[in-house]
Amino acid sequence: MGQVERHRFVDTALVNQAYEDTSLPIGLGQTISKPGVVARMLALLLNGAGLKLGRVLEIGTGSAYQTALLAELAAQVFSIERFPALLDKARPLLQQANVRNVSLLLGDGTLGWREYGPYDGIVVSAGAPHVPPALEEQLAEGGRMLIPIGDRDEQILTLFVKRNGQLEGRDIVPVRFVPLIGAGGWLA
């Protein structure tokens, strides 16, 4: 977390709040997650191994803050964003942060990014009613997925591990994320 400066990924009007443990608006009804939640998600994704992961899929590029953090922990990050304006802001921010191991895609994150899977880790930064089938399929055997599951207003951050082709889930903590919109999530 110390390698990536959060203030670079928030609106200039909110820079004084950048290091508070709070989510902040980034436009288009989206938010940058609380640093504490992001740190917990990254720790769960790594599973205490301290080693770099191979390929990681991120659903919801958003401000690109978590994307930059994931880039420190993985050989390659594939990140999907559904809002063109957010993706247009994310690209130069990642370049300025000298992040080189991230590929970005504009699209429906609930469908994943099949051509680069399977993924060692999948991080979903929006609340879903269930695990989108495409994401389950694209998670590698032994891979870990973090996704908020619940209704549109409140969810439980859930860790899934794929064992013998099946997802085994464990509830972690109550959270509140923006809704996961798409074919495998909530309809707009």
- Of residues 23, 33, 79, 125, which has the active-site annotation? 33
Helix (H) or strand (E) holding 138: helix 133-138
3-class DSSP assignment, residue 1: coil
- Other Cβ atoms less than 10 A from the Cβ of 88: the count is 12
d(CA 129, CA 147): 10
d(CA 24, CA 159): 24
Phi, psi of 90 (to 5 degrees): -65, -40
Catalytic status, residue 33: yes
Please confirm whether the linkage preceding 148 is cis (ω < 30° from 0).
Answer: no
Q: Any idea which residues carry the catalytic annotation? A: 33
